[in-house]
Amino acid sequence: MTLPTESVKLGIIAGAGQLPQRIIDICLQQKRPFYIIAFENQTDPMLVENHPHIWCKLGQTKLAFDYLKESGVQEVVMVGPIKRPAWSELKPDTFTATWLAKHLHKIFGDDSLLRAVIDLFETQGFKVVSAEDIIGASLLAPRGIMGKYPPTSQDQQDISLGIKVATVLGSCDIGQAVVIQQGLVLGVEAIEGTEALLKRCAFLKRPGSGGALIKVTKPQQETRVDRPTVGLETLKRIQESGFKGLAVEAFGVIMLDKEEMIQFANKNKLFLIGVDKNI
């Protein structure tokens, strides 16, 4: 007999940011048992207080697997960004070192690494699920204008260009976001992340209005464990940088604080829109 999802024990592989707490809140509402794998210098210690958890260093895979198996976990969700150390800084246990020796030659970037990690969890008997599997599809950006202010015709041209640039960027496994103003690419996201991209582009802003952050999924992205995410802080950085709005891939990008984002966009006359990647 198949157990209801709410009865299946969940392992939460917790990185930084708000999303791990959102998953915990849902589990508490559903009275679903959960067990947290927290990482030193990555996971917020406040997140795990009063909840079942263990602390691991990156590379201590056997410790994590043993804890999850002993706890009877069947499904695993990986949420929150984790800063990946250089290979030379990683101190793997024997289990992880053996696995890396067999698979390292296949890993050429974040996407291939994450697919390999999913395969590893699945070979250990765990089902890997996405954040939206637990929270629901409302976690993803809807299609269309959110809020009072639509993009202008120039903004729409910038969005179209941004989607093309970000898609090419993503196909090279580089980043997921670009800043476009008046038909010019002011910056592309790499390892520094979206916030640093916006800070950098603020100094490159052209005279006049306009300018948008465009964020989409990579063509080959493994969305169960790695979806682009935006939130209220993203909009605040856009406003502080002097740009005019945010366009995200509809049903592809996670929106944290959606209602707060819409209120902030309205108050600051920013556009906020979910778009198809093939426009």
Residue with tokens 């699945």: 122
| Spatial separation of the C-alpha atoms in residues 141 and 276, rounded to whole Å | 11
For residue 250 the two structure tokens come to 């509809």
Q: Along the 279 residues of the chain, how does pLDDT read in single tens digits?
A: 344 566 899 999 999 989 999 999 999 999 999 999 999 889 999 999 999 999 999 888 999 999 999 999 999 999 998 887 776 667 888 988 888 788 766 666 666 777 888 888 999 999 999 999 999 989 999 999 999 999 999 999 999 999 999 999 888 888 899 999 999 999 999 888 899 999 999 999 999 888 999 999 988 888 888 899 999 999 999 999 999 999 999 999 999 999 999 999 999 999 999 999 876
- Cβ pair 57, 32 in contact under 8 A: no
| Spatial separation of the C-alpha atoms in residues 139 and 25, rounded to whole Å | 14
CATH number for the domain formed by residue range(s) 140-275: 3.40.140.80
Query: Options 3.40.50.460, 3.40.50.20, 3.20.10.10, 3.40.50.720; which CATH number does 5-135 get?
Result: 3.40.50.20
pTM: 0.87
| Spatial separation of the C-alpha atoms in residues 114 and 127, rounded to whole Å | 15
Start-end of CATH 3.40.140.80 domains in the chain: 140-275
Helix residue ranges per DSSP H, 36-152: 45-48, 61-70, 94-103, 110-123, 131-135
pLDDT at 4: 53
- Cβ pair 244, 267 in contact under 8 A: no
| Spatial separation of the C-alpha atoms in residues 250 and 138, rounded to whole Å | 11
Start-end of CATH 3.40.50.20 domains in the chain: 5-135
Closest Cα to residue 217, out of 260, 166, 180?
Answer: 166
Is residue 246 within a helix (H) or strand (E), and if so which, with residue range? Answer: strand 245-249
